[in-house]
Amino acid sequence: MSRIYNVLFLCTGNSARSVIGEVLLNHWGKGRFHAYSAGSRPKGEVHPLTLELLHAMKLPTAGLRSKGWDEFARSDAPHLDFVFTVCDQAAAETCPVWPGQPITAHWGVPDPAAAEGTHEKKMAAFRDAFHRLDTRIKLFLALPLEKLDRLTLQHEARRIGGTNTPKDAAS
């Protein structure tokens, strides 16, 4: 049996982007990955539009919750192989020292929870975040993790964080 990799998606509020990353990697990783999400200052609840979007995409939402990153810095926390920050605030903050020194990368995505306007405009921001993370996660999953050394994995994870979606390339 192949190894299962533990991945933590970090953001400030842990209500949208990091939760979407968690759900997508658990879905596309097909048991090869166990994804988690957390925030530096968790909102305490998953954003309702995150849940609406995940339901619309027919992805599971059971058990999702907004939680602090301190849960993953404790000695009894799962060993983390990768930690991806998905918002600029979390990337700029001083992160805890993660046991086992996981590979880290910044995969910044605009905050859909900050979108204003109609419900449709807000949902468009959530769909954009979803598609950006979906693209990056699929690129990450295509890496031959078992064949790459740590330095190459670090480089590739960071390179993926700079990956533009087709929408980005057009703008």
User: Active-site residue among 7, 8, 10, 11?
Assistant: 11
Beta strand pairing call for 82-85 and 103-106? parallel
Is 87 considered catalytic here? yes
In the residue annotation, 130 being an active-site residue is answered as: no
Kindly report the backbone phi and psi dihedral angles of residue 144, in degrees, each rounded to the nearest multiple of 5, phi listed first. Answer: -80, 75
- CA end-to-end span of the chain, whole Å? 43
Any residues with CB less than 8 A from the CB of 124 and at least 6 apart, and which?
Answer: 115
Q: Both tokens of residue 118?
A: 């109609």
62 catalytic per annotation: no
Q: Which residue in the list 57, 59, 73, 95 is annotated as catalytic?
A: 95
Nearest in space to 154 (alpha carbons), one of 52, 55, 81: 81
Tell me the torsion sign for CA atoms 26, 29, 30, 33: negative
Strand 5-11 to strand 82-85: parallel, antiparallel, or no bridges (unpaired)?
Answer: parallel
Which one of the listed residues 19, 83, 87, 137 is annotated catalytic?
A: 87
155: left (phi over 0), alpha (psi -120 to 50) or beta: alpha
Annotated catalytic residues are: 11, 87, 95
